[in-house]
Chains A and B, each alone.
Chain A
């Protein structure tokens, strides 16, 4: 009970700080952080829990974004329906490619996902240009209808909605983490043969994890589409394929707060450093090298034990589960 309270108080504090940051920071920046953290949540789950590194997340992001965009450009005006269709698009794409991809070894999995991102990019840019409008993209900002309670056409209300969605996604991953399925995912990462002789199918565990992670990514894509009112093939550009992986590593692989911290740090650095230095990616590159050399724990992975020590007055050090390993 006390542990549960500690967990929930932690995340409530984190999201309260995120909500409060709206007062001090520009709205577009905070919205980008919130959506990026949802985008990274799936990647972090795949990498931290299942051991799959994916350079194809932009493909699933695009599935969500284009699912929403097609509806709002061609068929309807309700943004909530658009988001729902975006999520369903991501689910369908994951269910189509997942059964093939999850059979692969982690290194091949990374590359085949990158190939998918390239395929989706060219599909949206060239092959389906008649309906995607190619590089010009689909503009539908003025098509989006105002909605009661939370009007997503208003940036302030969109921010509240995105924050609530991010909180729900976080709570869902926390639930997964504590469930037997979460343990199965970690077990398949540690030793897939052993999971099989306990009585679990590695394939099914991986497929479910893959579908969950990429549907989350599609949700982020749908949110991007609504927020920007515009979608172009640039969203699935292979040059941005490493972004969610970078943010995952930056925040701390396999940690629940990592995607939020990583998204904040990455977006912040991008905004601040790009004003000072033209090639800001160079700085991120050096930072990643430093993080890897410093112990691969990322920002949250490094901060977490220190914060626990500070706030729990050393109690964490005596709990048997705390052995210094990164734990979600």
Chain B
């Protein structure tokens, strides 16, 4: 049953890859402007959860809704147009396109041509507009992917392992950006970096073998409390 008032509601979600079941009865809610983190070991089903919400995997059963709109069965581009944007883990950009062209793609789809917000969050992108995305560093690619996802002012940003393999200075910058972003957008972040999670998250879901085994909120979000689930 759809629940209004939430940016994202997942109820009883079951997902499999062929015969292999990956998610079991996952319940999950995200309030507007909330930062929700998903932690867990490799293979726990965190990325699968995000890919299912983004429409890349069809659930076996369960519901996914946003502001009362059912997302199950919708195509991924349709879900993106509803304001639920997915930033995947692999940091692969459209390498043959320039930074400008990558942003233009985002702008044309959302009809949002105001890049000031993107440049405010990531000033470095302004200097790289004519560089082909294939020639960007890992951090710059992450900035581009998040910047492009910001166009159209999404309701929910689903970000998979944003700091994986990035330099500490870039991680610190992303931390600031996520803090600022959450004023207007709900964030769902899959992340293994516990200091970052504890600094920005309002709620943490711990996943183990495809099931949500713990839900932490407020003061209980501490590295020591999250550690056992990694």
Contacts and interface: CB of A to CB of B under 8 A. Distances in A.
A191 interface: yes
B77 A187 contact: no
Given A199-B109, A199-B110, A319-B130, A193 B76 contact: yes
Contacts of A199: 77, 80-81, 106, 109-110, 152
* B: interface residue count bin: 20 to 34
Given A199-B109, A201-B77, A194 B92 contact: yes
B109 A321 contact: no
B146 interface: no
A202 B85 CA distance: 16
A184 B105 contact: yes
Nearest to A319: B130
A198 B92 contact: no
Interface residues of A, number: 23
Given A183-B104, A319-B130, A197 B85 contact: yes
A325 B79 CA distance: 34
B77 A196 contact: yes
A196 B80 contact: yes
Interface in A291-328: 319-321, 323, 325, 327
B211 interface: no
A200 interface: yes
A245 interface: no
A319 B135 CA distance: 13
Given A186-B94, A325-B96, A180 B105 contact: yes
B186 interface: no
Contacts of A97: none
B54 interface: yes
B130 A180 contact: no
Contact of A191 (B55, B76, B94): B94
B106 A196 contact: no
A228 interface: no
B132 A321 contact: yes
B130 A183 contact: no
B130 A321 contact: yes
A297 to B, nearest CB: 15
Contacts of A190: 94-97
A323 B98 CA distance: 11
Interface in B68-88: 75-77, 79-81, 85-86, 88
Contacts of B105: 180, 183-184, 187, 195, 198, 200
Contacts of A202: 77
A201 B130 contact: no
Contacts of B75: 196, 201
Interface string B48-72: 0000001110000000000000000
B207 to A, nearest CB: 22
Interface in B85-134: 85-86, 88, 92-98, 101, 104-106, 108-110, 130-132, 134
Contacts of A193: 56, 76, 88
Nearest to B56: A193
B46 interface: no
Nearest to A186: B96
B203 interface: no
Contacts of B134: 323
Given A183-B104, A184-B105, A200 B96 contact: no
A210 to B, nearest CB: 18
Contacts of A197: 54, 56, 76-77, 79-80, 85-86, 88
A193 B79 CA distance: 13
A194 B77 contact: no
B91 to A, nearest CB: 11
- What are the 4 tightest A-B residue pairs by CB atom distance, in nearest-first order? A199-B109, A199-B80, A180-B108, A196-B76
Interface of A: 180, 183-184, 186-187, 190-191, 193-202, 319-321, 323, 325, 327
30 contacts: A180-B105, A180-B108, A183-B101, A183-B105, A187-B105, A190-B94, A190-B95, A190-B96, A193-B56, A194-B93, A196-B56, A196-B75, A196-B76, A197-B54, A197-B76, A197-B77, A197-B79, A197-B85, A198-B105, A198-B148, A199-B80, A199-B106, A199-B109, A200-B77, A320-B98, A321-B130, A321-B132, A323-B132, A323-B135, A325-B96
Given A198-B106, A325-B132, 20 more contacts: A183-B104, A184-B105, A186-B96, A190-B95, A191-B94, A194-B93, A194-B94, A195-B77, A196-B75, A196-B76, A196-B77, A197-B54, A197-B79, A198-B77, A198-B80, A199-B80, A200-B105, A320-B98, A321-B132, A325-B96
